[in-house]
Structure 1
């Protein structure tokens, strides 16, 4: 990421311009396709009720959360409930065999759509601007994928939800029209504060704690962008995104295999399925 940021500064281009330099002519069309697929997964999940397939018999709650958001008077609570309902909608779709976008993985697929759909519906950001934000978030995901891992089986949930949180934080900070340093700051926080997060799905299903973590991760992404916006001008962040990626990789290596998708430890063991 340091090399990318140095390059765009020297060339006088944006991070989105950097993406276009490294993709073919069909990439913008592809971004629209991905954005629409994300939105469809949100909207599909918000319409459904009932129980998710599998032994856990977990009830779908995204639709009810969305209705609660609509009926909530306090603006701060309402906005966060909207975001959570969008994340839950996609995560429930994933758990129930619906179509989602792996951004960066199935288990963390609700976080990026939640932020993007929130920007579209509540902030009224146009799709032509959202695809740019999506592309910028993707840079950070690719940096993690290239230099560490996005696999829960390899690095624990920090590699999935942590990476998605970093991507969504960068996405949101781009929407805020902040500079590259603050975009990096937000993404770094998104990953840093998920360090050590274990992957311990109950019964082997991507349901508990995965669905809840998508809602939580989307809110963390929003918070990271807000903190970068408010604090970034007060002092320079001393921890680079590259440093956090290295730390995440080493932390993943140190995690016991029981906490990396095997359902042999942590919450999965406690639940006793």
Structure 2
């Protein structure tokens, strides 16, 4: 993005900036700088080995490496996520932009309340939470990047579901959030979370991995099985293209967030069942590497340019 700065009609400066995902902005000249080292260990294999050696959980690992204010920060993030879900659930109308998409999170939530089949009811609740956040994002309202704006509905949906449907306390959910964030950081450090760089696999795929890891911890799985859940969350989004119609983060983005939240929940369930049957042969780090390579091989038409896929085939019909 090129920003031209004017004062009283006179151009004072020209600023070149890059959004690299996760709310992080780099300015021209910063691109060559080394990535910030958040944790001493550089990948999930090293993190798991450290945790095994020290006999600690993944949340304990985060606590060991962050400052004393990390829990306060996580509570703040969680509260903003939940506020966003609730705002989205209570807002009706048409989302801004040429697509004129009707908000449906509120209707989906009401449908869930009136559904008696428990499994369908739960999946509708989870989907409505993801829709709520994604619709807030599409309308230009407040959201939490998790890890990006376009994939912001998945992690809040998983955590809000645990809060409302499973009755978990916020003091426990910040641990799930920390663990999900840890996996997101590993992807960001070793690959990319930017749709413009890696396609939607980098955004929704990473968010799905984060949500799967959080849900796996909620289901009381051990460190290795949490990593297994996250691996599945990312693996089965490999090759996912970023082709938003008209450049709006609406189609297919909103629906994709709900689908990603459901996938995250399913990945945690599969990790629980499969993990005790046999050892997973594919590591989380392997999938991160493959995602990075796949993103590099994707045509630029499928990386947030709206030049291919649905964006190319859809035709606007003005009312």
- Residue 165 of structure 2 corresponds to 122
- Distance in 1 (alpha carbons) for counterparts of 2:315 and 2:201: 23
- Distance in 2 (alpha carbons) for counterparts of 1:47 and 1:137: 27
- Distance in 2 (alpha carbons) for counterparts of 1:198 and 1:235: 32
Q: Are residue 56 (structure 1) and residue 56 (structure 2) matched?
A: no
- Distance in 2 (alpha carbons) for counterparts of 1:99 and 1:144: 24
TM-score, normalization by structure 1: 0.99
- Distance in 2 (alpha carbons) for counterparts of 1:176 and 1:222: 10
Q: Displacement of 1:132 after TM fit?
A: 0.3
Point out the structure with the larger helix share: 1
Query: Which residue of 249, 257, 269 corresponds with 1:214?
Result: 257
Runs of 4+ in structure 1 deviating by more than 3 angstroms, as ranges, are: none
- Residue 248 of structure 2 corresponds to 205
The structure showing larger relative contact order (alpha-carbon pairs under 8 Å, at least 6 residues apart) is 1
- Residue 11 of structure 2 corresponds to none
Query: Which residue of 172, 189, 209 corresponds with 1:166?
Result: 209
- Distance in 2 (alpha carbons) for counterparts of 1:197 and 1:168: 17
- Residue 151 of structure 1 corresponds to 194
Query: Which residue of 234, 242, 246 corresponds with 1:191?
Result: 234
Gaps of 5+ in 2: 1-43
Q: Are residue 73 (structure 1) and residue 107 (structure 2) matched?
A: no
TM-score, normalization by structure 2: 0.85
Q: Displacement of 1:21 after TM fit?
A: 1.0
Q: Are residue 259 (structure 1) and residue 298 (structure 2) matched?
A: no
Point out the structure with the larger strand share: 2
Q: Are residue 5 (structure 1) and residue 48 (structure 2) matched?
A: yes
3-state DSSP class of the match of 2:250? coil
Q: Are residue 22 (structure 1) and residue 60 (structure 2) matched?
A: no
* Larger CA Rg, structure 1 vs 2: 2
